[in-house]
């Protein structure tokens, strides 16, 4: 039993300049700090890291500020298709869902997949049937689709591009994928990530978020990682597991491993994105190749800190 806990959350990577322009820094800081404090309460009362990362990501999914759950971006067909995953560092159990629609909290569905233990990743209609079986809450499309997202898709289409939510095409609503990593009072690590994916993505496209080792990874012997950025680049570099390997094979702490991971992402595939990491000693760290990464953390029970740059 360790006597402290750590928690770190993120709200996506991208162009900080746009972010500052459109929603004031204070709005993000308020949201991130409130979610961290709610997570702190759960960790202090002895809840598991797995429960707390799920809980924090649920709160982020319910907030339209972020590209996950309610605030998800639109694919090329103008539809929402969401991906989410979580992993328990205690026993490497994991649950993930991809290309799902109308589920209020994709991370809660991923948790059902983990708890059932039969499979790790369910996609599309099969995942939705499983959601019905689990009596998950569903909402009509208009719960998810906003005018700002329709405008953002039109801009990406006219630029002929697929973009990160927080990316500069021209000023518009730029928001972000979400994630959480935690260490509980028992010393267990867990990670969770949830996203609407890339703006203007092809339907059926699956990014790094629901793929264990790419957008999410947790192992008590190394660290917990949640990633955000161009999913294809994180898939090709298996980035979350690569960061865990830096801890395992090179003895790095969270800070060194996060930096080495992003250096590898840039060197190998000119990758755009960021990661948050907590290691077994409860150290919190982040690194990014984009100008912005919305994040906040509580290290070993200390004060909640929020940073956007």
Q: Could you list the residues that contact ligand ASP (CB under 6 A)?
A: 12, 67, 164-165, 176-177, 195, 197-198, 207-209, 215, 228-231
- Comparison of 183 and 288: residue with beta carbon closer to ligand ASP: 288
- Comparison of 82 and 182: residue with beta carbon closer to ligand ASP: 82
- Please state, in angstroms and rounded to a whole number, the distance separating the CA atoms of residues 26 and 306: 10
End-to-end CA distance of the chain: 35
| Residue closest to ligand ASP, measured at CB | 231
- Please state, in angstroms and rounded to a whole number, the distance separating the CA atoms of residues 301 and 154: 44
- Smallest distance from ligand ASP to CB 280, Å: 25
Alpha carbon of 300 to those of 60, 188, 224, 287, 292: distances in Å?
22, 13, 15, 19, 25
φ and ψ of 19, to 5 deg:
-60, -45
138, 146, 163, 177: which is the annotated catalytic residue? 177
- Comparison of 88 and 195: residue with beta carbon closer to ligand ASP: 195
Q: Phi-psi bin for 171: left (phi > 0), alpha (psi -120 to 50), beta?
A: beta
Give me 32's structure tokens.
């991130």
- Comparison of 105 and 226: residue with beta carbon closer to ligand ASP: 226
Chain center to CA of 81 = 15
Give me 268's structure tokens.
């190998």
- Smallest distance from ligand ASP to CB 231, Å: 2
φ and ψ of 78, to 5 deg:
80, 20
- Smallest distance from ligand ASP to CB 165, Å: 5
What contacts 139, CB < 8 A, 6 or more positions away? Answer: 102, 104
- Smallest distance from ligand ASP to CB 20, Å: 18
Give me 19's structure tokens.
């972010």
- Smallest distance from ligand ASP to CB 260, Å: 20
- Comparison of 124 and 301: residue with beta carbon closer to ligand ASP: 124
Tell me if residue 33 is catalytic.
no
- Residues carrying an active site annotation: 177
């Amino acid at each position: 039993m360790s006597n402290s806990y750590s928690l770190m959350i993120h709200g996506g990577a991208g162009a900080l300049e746009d972010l500052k322009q459109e929603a004031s820094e204070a709005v993000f800081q308020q949201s991130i700090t409130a979610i961290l404090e709610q997570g702190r309460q759960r960790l202090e009362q002895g809840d598991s890291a797995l429960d707390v990362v799920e809980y924090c990501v649920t709160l982020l999914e319910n907030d339209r500020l972020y590209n996950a759950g309610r605030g998800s971006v639109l694919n090329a067909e103008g539809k929402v298709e969401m991906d989410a995953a979580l992993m328990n560092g205690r026993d490497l159990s994991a649950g993930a869902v991809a290309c799902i629609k109308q589920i209020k909290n994709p991370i809660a569905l991923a948790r059902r997949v983990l708890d059932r233990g039969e499979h790790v990743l369910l996609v599309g209609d099969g995942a939705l049937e499983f959601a019905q079986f689990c009596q998950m809450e569903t909402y009509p499309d208009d719960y998810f689709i906003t005018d700002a997202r329709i405008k953002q898709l039109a801009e990406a289409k006219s630029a002929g591009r697929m973009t990160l939510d927080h990316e500069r095409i021209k000023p518009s609503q730029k928001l972000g994928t979400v994630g959480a990593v935690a260490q509980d009072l028992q010393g267990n690590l867990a990670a969770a990530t949830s996203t609407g994916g890339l703006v203007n993505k092809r339907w059926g496209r699956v990014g790094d978020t629901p793929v264990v080792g790419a957008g999410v990874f947790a192992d008590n012997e190394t660290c917990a990682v949640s990633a955000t950025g161009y999913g294809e680049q994180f898939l090709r570099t298996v980035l979350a597991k690569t960061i865990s390997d830096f801890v395992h094979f090179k003895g790095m702490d969270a800070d060194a491993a996060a930096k080495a991971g992003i250096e590898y992402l840039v060197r190998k595939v000119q990758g755009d994105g960021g990661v948050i990491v907590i290691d077994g000693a409860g150290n919190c760290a982040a690194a990014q190749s984009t100008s912005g990464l919305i994040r906040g953390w509580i290290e070993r029970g200390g004060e909640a800190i929020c940073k956007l740059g």
